[in-house]
Amino acid sequence: MFVDVAKIYVKGGDGGRGSNSMRREKYIPLGGPWGGDGGRGGDVVFVVDQGLRTLVDFRYQHHFKAVRGEPGGKNNRTGESGEDLVVKVPPGTIVKDADSGALICDLTEPGQRAIVGHGGRGGRGNTRFASAKEKAPTYFEYGEPGEEHWLVLELKLLADAGLVGYPNAGKSTLLASVSGARPKIGNYPFTTLSPNLGVVELGERSFVLADIPGLIEGAHSGQGLGHEFLRHVERTRVLVHVLDGAGTEGREPLQDFTVVQQELALYNEQLAKRPVLIAFNKMDLPEARAAWPHCQAWFAERGLYAYPVSGATGEGIGALLDAIAERVALAEPLPSERPEAPAERVYRAEEQRAFAVHRTGGVWVVEGKEIERLVAMTMWENEDAIRRFQRLFRGWGVEKALLQAGAQEGDTVEILGRQFDFSPETIL
């Protein structure tokens, strides 16, 4: 089963909780805090596996969660980090955020790795909070929640050359005749509903040839199965137009070429700039032989190279394959899609603690990575930990921002789903 689009949920492992431990040993009456930090949660990592050609595995499994970190221990022992979850994907996989559509990574090279769900950091043990004013803290931090989001995976096949053309032009027959691929072949349109790949061996030379399912007029706007098919043309370095030279479907070969070329350009203007060869197919039929001289002259006038072939008998196949191999050797490698790199800059602490305040349904909602992380990791059952949260809440300017936005004493404030009664003196 060929699957080239999938939607999945990934979540990095949560960090392990810190330890709340005191040193208790004979002759050491004031041992002090002794709790270690929790371990970091595992990451969800995509790795390119050259042996995969489809996203079919993601059809049956949609959720991927990495292992959480182990809690810290006494004697200042740090908990063990969670194991990474490694997920194999085929080459040519593009990963996007399902909500925003932002590109996360483009995985094309065998062995290439990308973290798509970062694990949370481990919570700090009570040893970390000891100070001259607070010599025996009795609280710790919970582990940071792992990064989680829904992703959309799109597969764009990687091939050196791609066979394009109308349905029933003979692309699958041609692929089967020159490689070990065995696509479904039938004398009716849309026999091929998914791309097929074959490796063509020419002595010491070889290249990967893809049979792209048939295109029709309007494919660039989604007519037929246009978008599903055209996605795979984007990764082919050389385009081979396969034409029904005999016009068995009642269409003219030159018109077929013009329509398909226009559809490729309308879908992605870069496709119109790819090297093009023409396979004038079905030369075993008298109609194709009669049409060939006129079509050959038409292509020659436009500087295009056309080759008379027959996928059924093998006529002219050798010359076509040699031409494809030469064009593939000369073609420029296609660049991978890359997410926009952020501008290099030095981040200050106050910028990392940026937050936003807005009112929704009578509730003041505070959003920001650092303030949400603080809420998630605070030990709310401990009064000292709550007082620490209050100090940071005021020190980071959250309380002041709420007042400036119009918050009144007694209003409800919500951060990461946790609600408080707001007061300029105390938020609890």
Q: Residue 258 CA to chain centroid, in angstroms? A: 34
- Measure the CA angle with vertex 184, ends 179 and 185; round to 5°: 90
pTM attached to this predicted model: 0.75
> At residue 284, what is the residue type?
D
Residues whose CB is less than 8 angstroms from the CB of residue 410 and which lie 6 or more positions away in sequence, other chains included: 421, 422, 423
Query: What are 145-166's pLDDT values in tens digits?
Result: 999 999 999 888 777 888 888 8
Share of the chain above pLDDT 90, in %: 51
Query: What are 227-259's pLDDT values in tens digits?
Result: 456 777 777 889 999 999 998 878 899 998 998
- What would the 3-class secondary structure string for the chain be? CCCCEEEEEEECCCCCCCCCCECCECCECCCCECCCCCCCCCCEEEEECCCCCCCHHHHCCCEEECCCCCCCECCCECCCCCCCEEEEECCCEEEEECCCCCEEEEECCCCCEEEEECCCCCCCCHHHHCCCCCCCCCCCCCCCCCCEEEEEEEECCCEEEEEECCCCCCHHHHHHHHCCCCCCCCCCCCCCCCCEEEEEEECCEEEEEEECCCCCCCHHHCCCCHHHHHHHHCCEEEEEEEEECCCCCCCCHHHHHHHHHHHHHHHCHHHHHCCEEEEEECCCCHHHHHHHHHHHHHHHHCCCEEEECCCCCCCCHHHHHHHHHHHHHHCCCCCCCCCCCCCCCCCCHHHHCCCEEEEECCEEEEECHHHHHHHHHCCCCCHHHHHHHHHHHHHCCHHHHHHHHCCCCCCEEEECCEEEECCCCCCC
Average the pLDDT over 195-216 and give the result.
75
Report the alpha-carbon distance of residue 107 to residue 328 in Å, rounded.
21
Among 180, 173, 153, 199, smallest CA distance to 310 is for: 173
Instruction: Please check the confidence at residue 20 and state whether its pLDDT lies above 60.
Output: yes
User: Higher model confidence: residue 181 or residue 133?
Assistant: 133
Q: What domains can you pick out in the chain, each with its CATH number?
A: 1-155 (2.70.210.12), 159-330 (3.40.50.300), 349-421 (3.30.300.350)
pLDDT of residue 339: 65
Q: Which residues pair with 276 in a beta bridge?
A: 239
Instruction: Please check the confidence at residue 65 and state whether its pLDDT lies above 80.
Output: yes
Instruction: Please check the confidence at residue 37 and state whether its pLDDT lies above 90.
Output: yes
pLDDT of residue 73: 94
pLDDT of residue 35: 93
Query: What are 312-344's pLDDT values in tens digits?
Result: 888 999 999 999 999 998 887 776 666 654 444
Instruction: Please check the confidence at residue 291 and state whether its pLDDT lies above 70.
Output: yes
